[in-house]
């Protein structure tokens, strides 16, 4: 067992290794903020006892947030949320059929009392960023980095506006920030 002091703060789990191409964006977001995380396959359907143990032990192991991704009949995020007091962020992974609508609806419609914060279909990057924001509520340095990140987004969007206005130069109605 990892010591809580140096161990991962975020658990990124998924129903299968086939979810990783989608889920790795969550890990990349956490890397950008230098947040420690662990990655594993934990399937509610295929390894229910291990899944329950993972959820039950998560907070004692020092995790603060769980990001759970699954596709199809995606019961993993909700089942983890039912056995842990930690915030759970669900990522609907799109599969070959139904475009991820099945995954989305399986995750998002939780019964009252058992919340799962569901991001968009394949929205693993936002799951990582939301986990960072949750951790930032208790960490001033991380909060400052999140503000910087938001400013960068703002700068990029402003630049996009400039580019678009240049492209359509002469069309007077464009650009609220001229
Ligand atoms: N939805 C779940 C759960 C679960 O919710 O417990 N366990 C596996 N799966 C999903 O099955 C899909 C196909 O898995 P395989 O590629 O292993 O056949 C994956 O998207 C996985 O998340």
Widest CA span in the chain: 65
- Could you tell me which of 115, 120, 31, 111 has the C-alpha nearest to residue 69? 120
Residue 75 near ligand 1, beta carbon < 6 Å: yes
Domain boundaries, the chain: 10-138, 141-173
Share of the chain above pLDDT 70, in %: 92
pLDDT tens digit sequence for 71-121: 999 999 999 999 999 999 999 999 999 999 999 999 999 999 999 999 999
pLDDT tens digit sequence for 140-169: 999 999 999 999 999 999 999 999 999 998
CB burial of 5-42 (b: ≥16 within 10 Å; e: otherwise) equals eeebbbbbbbbbeebbebbbbbbebbeebebebebebb
Domain 10-138 indexed as CATH 3.90.740.10: no
Tell how far the Cα of 82 is from the centroid of ligand 1, in angstroms: 19
How much is the pTM? 0.92
pLDDT tens digit sequence for 124-143: 999 999 999 999 999 999 99
pLDDT tens digit sequence for 3-49: 456 899 999 999 999 999 999 999 999 999 999 999 999 999 999 99
Residue 70 near ligand 1, beta carbon < 6 Å: yes
ipTM over 0.95: yes
Residue 73 near ligand 1, beta carbon < 6 Å: yes
Tell how far the Cα of 7 is from the centroid of ligand 1, in angstroms: 27
Residue 16, annotated as binding a ligand: yes
- Mutational test site, ligand 1, from 43, 47, 67, 101, max ligand atoms within 8 Å of CB: 43
What's the angle, vertex CA 142, arms to CA 136 and CA 148, rounded to 5? 115
């Amino acid at each position: 067992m990892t010591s809580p002091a140096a161990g991962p703060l975020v658990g990124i789990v998924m129903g299968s290794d086939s979810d990783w191409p989608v889920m790795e964006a969550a890990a990349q977001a956490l890397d950008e903020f230098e947040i420690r995380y662990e990655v594993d396959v934990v399937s509610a359907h295929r390894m229910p006892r291990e899944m329950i143990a993972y959820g039950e032990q998560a907070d004692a192991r020092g995790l603060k947030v769980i990001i759970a991704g699954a596709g199809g009949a995606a019961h993993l995020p909700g089942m983890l949320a039912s056995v842990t007091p930690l915030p759970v962020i669900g990522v609907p992974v799109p599969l070959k059929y139904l475009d991820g609508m099945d995954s989305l609806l399986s995750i998002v419609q939780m019964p009252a009392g058992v919340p799962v914060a569901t991001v968009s279909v394949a929205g693993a990057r936002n799951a990582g960023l939301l986990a960072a924001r949750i951790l930032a509520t208790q960490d001033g340095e991380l909060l400052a980095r999140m503000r910087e990140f938001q400013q960068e987004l703002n700068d990029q969007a402003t630049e996009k506006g400039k580019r678009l206005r240049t492209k359509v130069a002469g069309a007077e109605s464009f650009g609220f920030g001229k």
